[in-house]
A and B are shown apart, each in its own frame.
Chain A
Amino acid sequence: MLNLKNIYVRNILIDLNLTVNEGEFVLVVGENGAGKTTLFNTISGSISPSKGSIFISEKNVTNEPQYMRAQLVANVFQDPKVGTVANMSVRNNLNMAHMRGKKRKLLTQSCSKERDDFFRSKLYEIGLENRLDSLVGELSGGQRQALSVIMALLTDSKILLLDEVTAALDSENSKRVLRIIDTCIYKQKKTCLMITHNKDQINQLGNRTLILKNGKLISS
């Protein structure tokens, strides 16, 4: 469960209160500058609120830095270039996501056959099972965003934040990525928040829709 109490961030978010239950899929909508991305950055820990508290599964994480909160919160960014590393192989990108929230040991080698088998089974869902050795920069935008989604769903993080994940995709890839997200949320019972401007998505997806305006929640 995600619980935000009286969150205040530099006049962008003003005394915001929000509760999202476990397994809920919530859409976040609002005009440009309404504070949607700031809300996500506050939940993920890249922005610290000057006032208020954030609870994830009843644990107060307000003062936890982003790298520590990564164990609980997974992100998919609007731009797949941010969520992946172009100069690294698909395998190493997945390795990074696989170790999210775990202790990265000096003596454990990052590549192994077991991990490769696991990654292939996940990549099968997006048709990239034979591209483990490819550089991420060689993938198309859609493939790269689909990979970002797979990476975000690789660990058992409680919260999944999707920031306009389909904005850069064509309709076919957009449908494919949303299908993966929907299936995984249903299977893994993740709490999910998704920013969108797409009217079809607003009508089709999610348990409820939050409307943000000038940093305030005007409708839930």
Chain B
Amino acid sequence: MLTLNELIIAMEVGLIYGILALGIYFTFRTINFPDLTCDGSFVTGAAVSSVMIKSGLNPALGIFFAALAGGTAGFLTGLINIRLKVEDLLSGIIVAFMLYSINLRIMGTKPNISLVNESTIFRFDNPIIICTLIVTLILFFIAYLLSSDFGLGLRAIGQNKKFALANGINVNAMTIFGLIISNALIAMCGAIFTQYQGFCDVSQGTGCLVIGLASVIIGEKFFPKIKFIRNLEIKSRNFIEIFFALFSCVIGSIAYRIFIAIAINSDILGLKTQDLNLITGLLIIFIMSRK
């Protein structure tokens, strides 16, 4: 049976992974680029943040540099795809593959780093308050970005590249920009999650894409579309519509974690932690098959 403490932990992890869902939403939904770099950039963020904390630097600064490192990984994927004409799926896979070695190098060739007794962003306050604050800030930033003229151009390349080009959008530059933002968010999620759980492992990024996608899909399927704001002034309405579309990813992430927690802690089903991937896969199939 799921306890209150387990429910709170699921919500906290869901909030943190909400940032990952936002990153996935950015590539898969906004610019329509099937980016598989995320499994690598998640760990890059975690590794950079852990190493910086171990060196005695401010943990918040660690998150900032993690985002920079993740953004660089996204930039590389974009460059390989656009300049070297490697297919989108393959360029992401190649970068994620190479990142495994780079992440090990960042971690000083050790496969894991413990952050026990180290200073993290969760030192001062309740994790749920800190996570809510960070996620809200990111949501406002991304919603503002996407509701601008620049953001509209970004959204257009994901819908119709020929249309975007004919309307003066530099599709290549915009794709790279989208990949940078997405992977920066994913690395930021990796950094925050590492600080939350107190250790970094080189293989902790495995399955990030599926978790992120599951969150986005759950959010899109179950979070109602905003229709009650028709009377608002157009500028605010546009911002709120985008904000809630993004917010649905975070809600999806929390719902996913709670569902997994319920499934694993349910005595009747007899499921254990090792069944996590099976439950996730079945959950995605169930949601996607719903009309």
Interfacial residues, chain A to chain B (CB-CB below 8 A) = 44, 46, 65-68, 70-71, 74-75, 77, 82-88, 91-92, 95-97, 99-102, 104-113, 116, 133
Contact = CB atoms under 8 A, between A and B. Distances in A.
20 contacts: A46-B162, A46-B165, A65-B170, A67-B165, A67-B170, A70-B168, A85-B160, A96-B153, A96-B163, A99-B153, A100-B167, A104-B149, A104-B150, A108-B148, A109-B148, A110-B147, A110-B148, A112-B235, A113-B234, A116-B234
Contacts of A46: 162, 165
A111 B233 CA distance: 10
B155 interface: yes
Contacts of A111: 147, 234-235, 237-238
Contact of B156 (A77, A83, A96, A133): A96
Contact of B163 (A74, A84, A101): A84
B166 interface: yes
Interface of B: 145, 147-153, 155-156, 159-160, 162-171, 230, 233-235, 237-239
A111 to B, nearest CB: 4
B166 A66 contact: yes
Contact of A99 (B168, B171, B234, B239): B168
Given A82-B163, A85-B159, A67 B169 contact: yes
B156 A85 contact: yes
A72 to B, nearest CB: 10
Contacts, number: 99
A66 B165 contact: yes
B179 to A, nearest CB: 17
Contact of A97 (B149, B167, B234): B167
A116 B235 CA distance: 10
A112 B234 contact: yes
Given A85-B159, A104-B148, A108-B149, 13 more contacts: A67-B169, A67-B171, A83-B163, A95-B152, A96-B169, A104-B150, A104-B169, A107-B148, A110-B149, A111-B234, A111-B237, A112-B234, A133-B230
B149 A105 contact: yes
B160 A82 contact: yes
Contacts of A82: 160, 162-163
B220 to A, nearest CB: 13
